[in-house]
Amino acid sequence: MQLTDPRRAAPAVTTGGTPAPARRRRRWRGRSLVLNLVSIVLGVAGWETLALLGYTLPTPAAVARRAGELVADGTLADDVRASLRRVVLGFALGTAAAVPVGFLMGWYATARALIEPWIQFFRTIPPLAIIPLAIVLMGIDETPKVFVIFLAAFLACVIATFQGVVDVNRTLIDAARVLGARDLSIFLRVVIPASTPFIFVGMRVGLGSAWATLVAAELIAAQSGLGYRMQSAQLYYDLPTIFVGLISIGVLGLVMDRLLLLVERRVTGWQERR
């Protein structure tokens, strides 16, 4: 009589044939969505309460009315397009430059010794402090705006990429060498996959830095953009318009962050998660 090895037993399934872990994940996603909605409702309720108590805040209804006006006349759409163009371009260029520089610093000790002091030096200088220099050197068109955003994203991502290469498990590299792998093969098959989670963390931090730098970047002779609209509203004490800009930046940043997180999960599906 053949005995069944318990270690090879079929995974637990539900009555519908769906694995139990998958059902638990779906249940948690539903619960997480409900908690997100509850959090939003509580936040708006707290905002309304503060406004009714006399704090200098517009009510959610006033902000919604102002948002409707800006949407109706096309102003909000134009501002969103202008800001998105600057952020996406600066972030994309910053990430594209940061990843190879981070790999270079992490893989070659000589490159690290040459480049790292400059990276650490510029990290101590806020990107906003570069604005006067950017205006003098690049003028007042789109170039200095994108450059400041590029710098913010680059400095966040390059450090994460460098740290990812440095933290690769040395045992994996040694095992690959024992099996006869050359440096290029080790770099492509071991270092890059092991560093990918760090790169995505750096990209998410860089994306946040890019949006955080946007408002200041649009001080440079901008004629449109969410930051520009908020700066103009400040002159007239137009709080609803300022809140519309803040909420728009927050929503756009959140959506882009979630898209990055989705890509990360697909690319690093092999990584164990809690």
The CA–CA distances, whole Å, from 143 to 26, 79, 90, 217 equal 45, 18, 10, 10
pLDDT band for position 123 (cuts 50, 70, 90): confident
Comparing 168 with 160, the larger pLDDT belongs to: 160
pLDDT of 7 strictly over 60: no
pLDDT at 175: 83
Model pLDDT, residue 20: 62
Q: Is 164 a residue whose pLDDT tops 60?
A: yes
pLDDT score for 207 = 92
Q: Tens of pLDDT along 204-213? A: 999 999 998 8
For residue 6, name the pLDDT band (cuts at 50, 70, 90).
very low
Confidence bin at 190 (pLDDT 50/70/90): confident
The C-alpha atoms of residue 158 and residue 160 are separated, in whole angstroms, by 6
pLDDT digits (tens, 9 = 90+) for 235-257: 888 899 999 999 999 999 999 99
CA proximity to 77, closest of 263, 229, 243, 255: 229
Residue 107's pLDDT is 83
Please provide residue 82's backbone torsions phi and psi, each rounded to the nearest 5 degrees: -65, -45
Please give the pLDDT value at position 5.
47
Q: Considering the entire predicted model, what is its pTM? A: 0.80
Q: pLDDT-based confidence at 25, cuts 50/70/90?
A: low
In this prediction, what percent of the chain has a pLDDT beyond 90?
A: 35
| pLDDT of 72 over the 90 cut | yes
